[in-house]
Structure 1
Amino acid sequence: MMRPEDSARLGGHRSVPHTADLRVEAWGPTREMCLAQAVRGVCESFLDLAGAVGVRQRDVVVRGDTNQDLLLALLEELVYWLDTHDEVPVEVEVTAVRGGLRALLCMADIGSLPVTGAVPKAATLHELAFDRGQDGWRCSVTLDV
């Protein structure tokens, strides 16, 4: 059984009910872990990732002036790969680089995964939050579906 202190140390995410949109909250001990959890949370909001196997890797660098900008840019990459190549990240590793983030995305074909919800179309600025607190990093984002 996972204890609350384990969740803060390892990171996590959850979908939150939101009228006509998708809202995801994520947390982690580091900014990068929090971002990876946010991506995972968005993907799990509309796909069953149990047993998902990545078939290719994408190496992506995103830039932004603020942590919120970086979160939006990373989620825009997710939507881009989904829309243009019908693939979704099933594993995410995020590292800091000068002026931004580098994300190594292990991608699966969306057709190989059970769809469980509405597919996100874009991340929004509505109630966007990304901050460091006593227990680590937390973010929340609303996505249009």
Structure 2
Amino acid sequence: MAGLEKDTPHPTALTVHTQSRVLEIGFDNGRSFRLPFELLRVYSPSAEVQGHGPGQEVLQTGKREVGVDAVEPVGNYAIQIRFSDGHDTGIYSWDLLYRLGDNQDALWQDYLQRLEAAGADRDTPMPAAGGGHACGHH
């Protein structure tokens, strides 16, 4: 597991806004970002979302209303976010959070394009968990 880049800004403030569904995060280089829970959720670094290699990403849909139940520190380099839909395997390092904030607009565009390509939208429910594997039953 790679350590943090030496020049990665560190968060100085982190606030979960449950009503407006954003994670507000201020870094020690003076920048601060408001990351929507939906963005954090659809770009979760977990294997469940990212798959196990390029091109294996699982498109997350229906997360517009997702909430955050808890944010727990992981060492002094990351946070683990527990989402209201039960997803809690994403470990968000400071550099990932910074990158999400810094590239937020491009990431939204990318996400919306991927939804469109899949014929889905932000409110399409996810297929039931565990689905998608044929197991020989008809």
Q: TM-score, normalised by structure 2?
A: 0.28
Structure (1/2) with the larger helix percentage? 1
Using CA pairs below 8 Å that are at least 6 residues apart, which structure has the higher relative contact order? 1
Q: TM-score, normalised by structure 1?
A: 0.27
Query: Which has the greater radius of gyration?
Result: 2
Structure (1/2) with the larger strand percentage? 1
